[in-house]
């Protein structure tokens, strides 16, 4: 798909580095202990059991943007830690105020974004974006080395 075209009602920029995200203060993490029964009750009211969230990319590709599914693992508004803590990447903003809400939409734009762009989109510094990429590359290399042992004749 050519850059600068419209997709799902959203105009994609000519260059991935033209992506903008509102500036926010530093991300805030909330521990699990802070979430009481009242939060669970409100959450149950917002998302009733019969509510079907998309489970695949094909289900959500034509969903409205900004994406309302904050609980999705690809949503940029929050991250859930392995122990259940919640990190709000943009504590000053509401989910519908973000320009870009889905990491998969950014990946579909085609180009590899610069570290500055990734930092703006995730509300982290350029250096932290580089660290995350380096760690991911090391993890992939380690996994490939472990798999290579099983593939050798």
pLDDT at 132: 92
Q: State the chain's mean pLDDT as an integer.
A: 76
C-alpha dist (Å) from residue 138 to 11, 74, 122, 127, 141: 35, 22, 21, 17, 5
Structural domain that includes position 74: 18-151
pLDDT at 105: 87
* Residue 5 within a domain: no
Q: Is residue 11 part of a domain?
A: no
Quick: pLDDT tens for 103-120.
888 888 877 888 998 888
More confident residue, 42 or 57: 57
Residue 103 lies in a domain: yes
In a domain, residue 6? The reply is: no
In a domain, 67, yes or no: yes
Q: Of 125, 126, 103, give the one whose Cα is nearest residue 16.
A: 103
Question: pLDDT tens digits, residue range 64-103?
Answer: 888 888 878 888 888 877 777 788 888 888 888 888 888 8
Domain count, the chain: 1
pTM of the model: 0.60
pLDDT cut 70: percent of the chain above it: 67
């Amino acid at each position: 798909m050519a850059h600068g075209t419209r997709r799902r009602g959203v105009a994609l920029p000519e260059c991935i580095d033209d992506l903008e995200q509102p500036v926010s203060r530093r991300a805030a993490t909330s521990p699990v202990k802070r979430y009481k029964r009242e939060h669970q009750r409100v959450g149950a009211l917002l998302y009733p059991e019969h509510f079907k969230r998309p489970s695949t990319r094909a289900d959500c590709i034509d969903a409205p943007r900004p994406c309302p599914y904050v609980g999705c693992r690809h949503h940029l508004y929050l991250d859930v830690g392995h122990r259940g803590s919640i990190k709000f990447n943009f504590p000053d903003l509401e989910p519908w105020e973000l320009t870009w809400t889905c990491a998969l939409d950014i990946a579909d734009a085609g180009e590899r974004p610069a570290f500055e762009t990734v930092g703006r989109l995730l509300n982290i510094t350029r250096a932290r974006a580089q660290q995350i990429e380096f760690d991911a590359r090391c993890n992939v290399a380690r996994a490939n080395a472990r798999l290579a042992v099983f593939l050798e004749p």
